[in-house]
Amino acid sequence: MTVFNDFIGNERIREQLRYLLASGHLPHAVLLEGETGLGKRTLAREIALYLLCRGEGEKPCRECAQCRKVLKGVHPDVFEYTAEDRPKAFGIETVRDIKSNAFMQPNEADFRVFILGNCQSMSAEAQNAILKLIEEPPAYAVFLMTVTTKSAMLPTVLSRSTVFTLEGVSPENGAQWLCERHEGMAYDAALRMCRTYNGNIGKAEAALTDGNGDRISEAAGNIARAAASGSEYELLKACAVFGRDREMLQQTLSLLKIIVRDAMAHGSGDILSGNREAAEALAGRLSRDKLMKTYRALEELEQAVRRNANMPLLMTRMCTELLRAQNR
């Protein structure tokens, strides 16, 4: 079966979906959960491709008229709705439009597929409205919803949906995938970014193509060297680059953890972070016990970022915790 050609990793979920599609038992309401960049929208489109294919043999054939229209984004029975990733951006009026289209018979295919992006942005009113639709949907309607975290959805919506939680791919597979799609991309750079972004190919690709990866690498190196120096002033100066950029901070913390791991393994293996100088600076100044404390401090800071802690307070805490890990 050629389904999921454009979606890699998450083998268990791929196998579950293959079975459900092949057996005709795909639930009418599917919730694809995972952080931005993991391929939720890509997976939803692959599912739509399978459902609408009318080719001979294995599905999707990617060659029949139905497949070609889906791949070009012009199929009249595939509807995509999305909203900005902010509270209540996905409102009731959008759901009303979805409902009006859902109760119309398919134009060309056996199904009408609705891909609803950023459902974490749905207002409570919109979620209650979509609930009524997925409780008693038309037989031909399939709703593929994407969400960064299922906790953003009402329990009643979750109870009527089948949730698949996506994860990052292995850094090696991610780097290979990126290099196959970007001529001239260096494998080592792709591998480093895939490690930095915990196998999130979308984020790694964006960092490699828009130059943000270089900013993250520089910021992580500066913070590692400042931490090794034990200077609170140098740490504060190194952290000033973030401003209110929470995403950059989170990814820099991920790379810092890799640099610390490199420091702990100094002299016994490859440099996974690509920042040998920063790793050697930490290894030369901190004992293994202090490096372990530094690593745990970075993990706690990552969790604070995910909880949307106040950025200025995060910067102060970051400096304090990194110095405290060194008993300073």
For every residue of 199-229, DSSP letters joined together read: T-HHHHHHHHHHSHHHHHHHHHHHHHHHHHH
Whole-number Å distance between alpha carbons of 297 and 225: 16
The domain locations on the chain are 11-165, 211-324
Give dist(CA 76, CA 9) in Å, integer.
30
Helix, strand, coil proportions of the chain in percent (round to 5)? 60, 10, 35
**Amino acid symbol at 214:** D
Beta bridge partners of 147: 33
**Ramachandran area for residue 240 (φ above 0: left; ψ -120 to 50: alpha; else beta):** alpha
- How many residues comprise the chain? 328
Please give the average pLDDT of every successive group of 10 residues along the chain, which has 328 residues.
78 94 96 93 96 92 95 96 90 95 95 97 96 95 96 96 95 93 90 85 86 84 91 90 87 88 78 82 90 91 81 87 81
**Is the fold of 11-165 the same as that of 211-324?**
no
In whole angstroms, give the CA distance from residue 260 to residue 250: 16
255 close to 220: Cβ distance less than 8 angstroms: yes
pLDDT, residue 327, reads: 74
- For residue 146, give the 3-state DSSP assignment: strand
- Residue 83 one-letter amino acid: A
What is residue 18's predicted lDDT score, i.e. its pLDDT?
94
| Best CATH choice for the domain 211-324 from the list 1.10.287, 1.10.540, 1.20.272, 1.20.120 | 1.20.272
Q: Is 20 exposed, middle or buried (0-12, 13-18, 19+ CB in 10 A)?
A: middle
pLDDT (0 to 100) of residue 1: 46
User: Looking up tokens 């891909």, which residue turns up?
Assistant: 115
CATH architecture of 11-165: 3-Layer(aba) Sandwich (3.40)
Q: Which long-range CB contacts under 8 A does 177-181 form with residues at least 24 apart?
A: 177/8, 177/201, 178/204, 178/205, 178/208
- Cα separation, 22 vs 14, whole angstroms: 12
- Which amino acid appears at position 47 of this protein? I
